[in-house]
Amino acid sequence: MAIVVVGGNSRNVGKTSVVAGLIARLPEFNWTAFKITQHGHGFLTADGSPDQCQTPDSCVSIAAERDDTGGSDTSRFLAAGATRSLWVRTRIGMLAEAMPRIRQEIAACENAIIESNSILDHLDPDLYLSVIDPSVADFKPSARAHLRRADAILWSSCSGAAPLPHEVPGLDLDATPRFAVQPPGYLTEVVVDFVRSRLAAIPPAP
Q: Which of residues 154 and 93 earns the better pLDDT score?
A: 154
Range 77-89 average pLDDT: 97
Residue 78 has pLDDT above 70, yes or no: yes
Q: Which of 3-17, 27-41, 68-82, 161-175 has the least mean pLDDT?
A: 161-175
Residue 48 has pLDDT above 70, yes or no: no
pLDDT at site 45: 45
Residue 108 has pLDDT above 80, yes or no: yes
pLDDT at site 155: 86
Range 122-150 average pLDDT: 88
Does residue 90 contact residue 98 with C-beta atoms inside 8 Å?
yes
Residues ≥6 apart with Cβ < 8 Å to 35: 16, 73, 74, 77, 85, 86, 87, 88, 115, 116
The reply to whether CATH 3.40.50 applies to domain 3-200 is: yes
* pLDDT over 70, % of the chain: 81
Give, in order, the Cα–Cα distances in Å from 150 to each of 83, 117, 120.
26, 11, 10
pLDDT at site 49: 47
pLDDT at site 169: 59
The predicted-structure confidence for 152-190, as pLDDT tens digits, reads as follows 999 887 544 455 655 665 666 678 898 989 888 899 999
Question: Pairing between strand 84-91 and 111-115?
Answer: unpaired
Q: Which of residues 69 and 42 earns the better pLDDT score?
A: 69
Q: What is the dihedral of CA 106, 111, 113, 117, to 10 degrees?
A: 50
